[in-house]
Amino acid sequence: MNAQAISQPRIVEVRQNILKRNDELARELRQRFKDAGVFVVSLVSSPGSGKTAFLEKTLTLLKHRGGRPAALVGDLATDNDATRLARSQAPVRQITTGTLCHLEAAMVEKALEDWNLEELDFLFIENVGNLVCPSSYDLGENRRLVLLSVTEGEDKPLKYPTIFNSSDVAVVTKVDLAEAVEFDWNAAHANIQAVRPGMPVLRVSAKTGQGMDAWLASLAPTGS
């Protein structure tokens, strides 16, 4: 075989997915989540778009309504976000990524090591604040949310089309500030629909609670 390979034409087909290891692991995780009856939602956005506030509100409301949510939170260096989320009384675990700009399936798997998934209805995975790197990595989630705050401007989807395209739902946050910053809803909506036609768009304010009911209602029942 070796002699043949050497003497043969130079190009050999490989066709291997570069992220195959991550993708395989993500598939395994997705199956585990399904078996345990946990609905998994990941959140991506730029830093400062209100992921943690939105998540804290979500966890608190779900707990209040008798749900069993938990969260994993990716952060480059601090555990500030995990501390904030823990106020909701839901189980929260920090994934410190160091210099890595995104979460990978292996980190999620490791963070879940001693958790009993059967005891959960919902798992939220807050990715590192970054609108570029997380887009390529499947984490085994059922739904990926991309957050866009009204203070960031309406053109974020056009600047980061890949992350919007790889997400399932767009969540516009801090809508209580929309008027103050003269947020152009029509432009924002058009930009989201241009890069990801048909994408559902939610409008929320973690501060006032506006839109939170609609968001929680949109979470599919887990069947557990």
Q: Contact positions toward another protein, by CB under 8 A?
A: 1-2, 5-7, 10-21, 100-102, 104, 132-133, 135-137, 158, 161-163, 165-166, 193-198
- Closer CB to another protein, 20 or 65, in the complex: 20
Shortest spacing between CB 92 and another protein, in angstroms: 25
Contacts of 10 by beta carbon, 8 Å cutoff, 6+ apart: none
Shortest spacing between CB 70 and another protein, in angstroms: 26
Shortest spacing between CB 29 and another protein, in angstroms: 18
Residue 43 tokens, joined: 């959140």
- Closer CB to another protein, 59 or 107, in the complex: 107
Reference 136, options 110, 112, 162; nearest CA is 162
* Alpha carbon distances (Å) from 165 to 131, 136, 176, 191, 198: 11, 11, 26, 11, 11
Phi-psi region of 174 (alpha: psi -120 to 50; beta: other; left: phi over 0): left
- Closer CB to another protein, 35 or 155, in the complex: 155
- Closer CB to another protein, 156 or 174, in the complex: 156
Q: State the burial class of residue 113 (Cβ atoms within 10 Å of its Cβ: 0-12, 13-18, 19+).
A: exposed
Which residue type does 43 have?
A: L
Q: How far apart are CA 42 and CA 153, in angstroms?
A: 22
Q: State the burial class of residue 148 (Cβ atoms within 10 Å of its Cβ: 0-12, 13-18, 19+).
A: buried
What dihedral do alpha carbons 124, 128, 129, 132 form, nearest 10°? -110
- Closer CB to another protein, 46 or 58, in the complex: 46
Shortest spacing between CB 162 and another protein, in angstroms: 5
Shortest spacing between CB 15 and another protein, in angstroms: 6
- Closer CB to another protein, 15 or 65, in the complex: 15
Shortest spacing between CB 210 and another protein, in angstroms: 28
